Amino acid sequence: MPGWLPSLFRRAGATALTDRRGECVYAGCPHYRKCFIERAERAGREADLVIANHALVMVNAARGRPDAPTRILFDEGHHLFDAADSTFAAALTGQEAIEMRRWIVGPEGKSRGRRRGLAARLLDVCSYDDQGAEALDAAVEAARALPSDGWLGRLAEGAPFGPVEALLHEVRGTVYARSKAQEAGYGLETELAEPDAALIAAATAALESLEALAKPLAALVRRLEAILENAPDWLDSQARARVEGAITGLTWRRETLSAWIGLLGRVGGVADPDFVDWLAIDRVEGREYDIGLHRHWLDPTRPLARAVLEPAHGVLVTSATLRGPKAGRAPRHGPGRCTCRQRSAISRRRARSTMGRNRKCSSSPTSRAATSPGWRGPMQG
């Protein structure tokens, strides 16, 4: 959109034009046909050349979209590692959990907005399918165990509600107990190592609640797929598009739940050498706005190679600044302590150095090695 358009709205009012947390109902919206975002997406499926940022390309590839590009050119390749690290990370935080609840349950109490819950989107469809209606009701009921509005205040008062809020309460206590800079005002982090018994017990209870939510969501996806396979007479084109959109959204949320369950299963157990896990309290000037557990790949190029590079017919990465260290000089990571995010960043810098030593990327399309269909690059290792 033009840069002057947001200035016509109140402060931060331009965010109302975007769908950041699953508010879009796709074909169920009366503006679906003329929405400029949907029109651009439909045009992109048929275009010979699509220009997008790194994150969008990786998200589409990671979610297994059938129209994902098969020939990719990543410019500014030195940003590729950070984009992969963000795309393939997992974060079980209060903000993420409450958004999951809102997507399934819908607006509660006096909350207003365009957001519609899963029941409102699929009520007419599930009214023709008893098993689908039962799975939908079970999913909505299980989602009520996730944090709700006012969760930060309840955690500060020591009165969490539900197993996930209880877990976040223990995370908060652990981070503050290990921190030596509580009054500094910035965010706090600590490793997910040697958790106490209270944190392990809270993680076990939260794990069971997430598994209880994942089961009805899986059953609902199976019922919706069965409706599409054996289409009844009432399933018109708009209802089909709404069901397909619901299946896609449910699949994304199930993947998120699986990542959360895997993260909680590690609490109190053996650390996975492929990941960096930590606990964090996000703050601004001493004010808390999010609390949770984080998991990042130690080497984010591994999921990048599996999800993006392997299915592609050809990939070219170009950068004017991506190069290895000078001869005879070791990479300078420096001694001393570092935060959990910095440890993940160090692995990315090592991957950059390895990639630069193995191949100096060129923007020239005449490079036979880089443009051959079978080329995967050093990031696949």
Residue 284: inside a domain, yes or no? no
Q: Report, as an integer, the average pLDDT of 267-289.
A: 90
pLDDT at 146 over 50: yes
Predicted pLDDT of residue 12: 57
Confidence at 317, pLDDT banded by 50, 70, 90: confident
64 and 205 assigned to the same domain: no
206 and 131 assigned to the same domain: yes
Q: Report, as an integer, the average pLDDT of 213-233.
A: 88
Task: Report, in this order, helix, strand and coil percent for the chain, each rounded to 5.
Answer: 50, 10, 40
pLDDT at 353 over 50: no
> Can you give the residue range of the structural domain that contains 251?
90-178+195-273
| Token representation of residue 191 | 């490793």
Residue 268 exposure: Cα atoms within 13 Å on the Cβ side: 12
CA proximity to 95, closest of 163, 195, 165? 165
Confidence at 36, pLDDT banded by 50, 70, 90: confident
Percentage of the chain surpassing pLDDT 90?
Answer: 32
**Residue 167 is part of a domain; what is its CATH number?**
1.20.120
pLDDT at 195 over 70: yes
163 and 239 assigned to the same domain: yes
95 and 154 assigned to the same domain: yes
pLDDT per position as a tens digit, 282-300: 998 888 999 999 999 999 9
Do residues 192 and 277 lie in contact, with contact meaning Cβ atoms separated by under 8 Å? yes
Predicted pLDDT of residue 377: 37
Q: How many residues does the chain have?
A: 381
127 and 255 assigned to the same domain: yes
Predicted pLDDT of residue 125: 73
Q: Report, as an integer, the average pLDDT of 203-225.
A: 94
Q: Report, as an integer, the average pLDDT of 335-356.
A: 47
Predicted pLDDT of residue 25: 64
What is the pTM for the complete model shown? Answer: 0.76
Confidence at 63, pLDDT banded by 50, 70, 90: confident
Percentage of the chain surpassing pLDDT 70?
Answer: 74
Confidence at 51, pLDDT banded by 50, 70, 90: confident
Q: Report, as an integer, the average pLDDT of 2-29.
A: 65
Predicted pLDDT of residue 356: 42
In this structure, is the dihedral angle defined by the CA atoms of residues 344, 345, 348 and 354, taken in order, positive or negative? Answer: negative
Residue 129: inside a domain, yes or no? yes
**338 contacts: CB under 8 Å, gap ≥ 6:** 346
Structure-model confidence comparison of residues 331 and 246, the more confident one: 246
Measured CA distances, 55 to 4, 61, 207, 258 (Å):
25, 10, 29, 21
pLDDT at 143 over 90: yes
Predicted pLDDT of residue 335: 38
Residue 122: inside a domain, yes or no? yes
Structure-model confidence comparison of residues 324 and 374, the more confident one: 324
Residue 281: inside a domain, yes or no? no
CA proximity to 106, closest of 95, 97, 115, 98? 115
pLDDT at 258 over 90: yes
Residue 330: inside a domain, yes or no? no
58 and 170 assigned to the same domain: no
pLDDT at 371 over 90: no
**289 contacts: CB under 8 Å, gap ≥ 6:** 95, 152, 282, 283
139 and 223 assigned to the same domain: yes
6 and 35 assigned to the same domain: yes
Task: Provide the b/e sequence for 107-137 (b: ≥16 CB within 10 Å).
Answer: eeeeeeeebbbbbebbeebbeebeebbebbe
| Token representation of residue 209 | 């609640």
Residue 184: inside a domain, yes or no? no
36 and 79 assigned to the same domain: no
pLDDT at 324 over 80: no
CA proximity to 227, closest of 115, 143, 106, 135? 135
Residue 247: inside a domain, yes or no? yes
pLDDT per position as a tens digit, 79-120: 888 989 988 999 999 999 998 998 898 877 665 555 567 877
Domain count within the chain: 3
227 and 357 assigned to the same domain: no
Structure-model confidence comparison of residues 15 and 216, the more confident one: 216
130 and 264 assigned to the same domain: yes
70 and 155 assigned to the same domain: no
Do residues 277 and 338 lie in contact, with contact meaning Cβ atoms separated by under 8 Å? no
pLDDT at 363 over 50: no
Residue 100: inside a domain, yes or no? yes
Average pLDDT across the chain, whole number:
78
Do residues 115 and 23 lie in contact, with contact meaning Cβ atoms separated by under 8 Å? yes
d(CA 142, CA 299) in angstroms, rounded, equals 34
